[in-house]
Amino acid sequence: MENVIISASVLSADLCELGRDIRRAEEAGCRYIHFDVMDGMFVPNISYGIPVLESVSKAAKGVLDVHLMITDPIRYIKAFAKSGADIITFHFEACNDVKAVIDEIHSCGKKAGIAIKPATPASVLGPYIEMSDMLLVMTVEPGFGGQGFNYDMLPKIADLKKMISERNADVPIQVDGGINDVTAGLVKEAGAEILVAGSYLFKAPDMKEAVKKLI
Ligand code: DX5
Ligand code: ZN
């Protein structure tokens, strides 16, 4: 099996053909389906939420990777867990008590991820490395698909990888935003293991070929 996991962000899918696009992504080799939830408060955009996730969970065979870009995420953890999420990632910047959110996710029997925006240093994650199941370094400002990759995030990914290794922890780094056949190699080299890709995959003429290039 490959040493990198591709998580297909369905934000760039044809939302009228979501089931078909999820199957396409899975058949192309994406082991995770990435579901971006935006509340119009934490980020300046609104996407989709709980009822859509319920349908998606019936269509997806692989891991459902839910990325919450919402203020005060603890309010909705149980609902997203019940709707079929396997991994629930929330933003460090969106809550006061990070540990409480992780505990809430774990109490629902789900994996917990913590995301940081480009301006947030990797060091804030230090206290939570051992208790989390995934760490997400945003490589664009959260809120929209199709943005350009922020190259300043490469040293941050490497710093975080170093922090994880120094603790002998086994927590994968996920990256999200602007991933394509060029940036995929760079983030992998910096230490990322789970690559979210939206527009690159869904705009590709041949998704299978595109996934191969990312891996
Ligand atoms: C942005 C979302 C991403 C987005 C990535 O806020 O979290 O998951 O869909 O899209 P691309 O791969 O097009 O940058
Ligand atoms: Zn995302």
Local structure of 7: helix, strand or coil: strand
Atom of ligand 1 nearest to the CA of 199: 13
pLDDT value at 151 more than 60: yes
Task: Out of 21, 41, 46, 196, give the residue to mutate to test ligand 1, the one with the largest number of ligand atoms within 8 Å of its CB.
Answer: 196
Closest ligand to the CA of 145: 1
56 closest CA partner among 12, 107, 87, 15: 15
What is the model's pLDDT at position 58? 97
pLDDT value at 1 more than 60: no
Query: In the chain, how many domains are there?
Result: 1
Q: Does 36 participate in catalysis according to the annotation?
A: yes
Mean pLDDT (the chain) is: 98
Segment 23-76, tens digit of pLDDT: 999 999 999 999 999 999 999 999 999 999 999 999 999 999 999 999 999 999
Query: Which residue is closest in CA terms to ligand 1's atom 10?
Result: 145
Atom of ligand 1 nearest to the CA of 145: 10
Which of 65, 97, 176, 206 is the catalytic position? Answer: 176
What is the model's pLDDT at position 5? 98
Atom of ligand 1 nearest to the CA of 179: 12
What is the model's pLDDT at position 121? 98
Task: Out of 15, 32, 36, give the residue to mutate to test ligand 1, the one with the largest number of ligand atoms within 8 Å of its CB.
Answer: 36
What is the model's pLDDT at position 3? 86
Range of the domain at 124: 5-214
Distance from chain centroid for Cα 206: 23
Percent of residues, the chain, with pLDDT higher than 70: 100
Taking residues 161-178, report their average pLDDT.
Answer: 98
Judge whether 214 and 6 are in contact, CB under 8 Å.
yes
Taking residues 98-104, report their average pLDDT.
Answer: 98
Alpha carbon distance 210, 202 (integer Å): 9
* CB-ligand 1 contact for 178 (6 Å cutoff): yes
Segment 120-148, tens digit of pLDDT: 999 999 999 999 999 999 999 999 999 99
What is the model's pLDDT at position 179? 98
CATH number for the domain that contains residue 164: 3.20.20.70
pLDDT value at 104 more than 80: yes
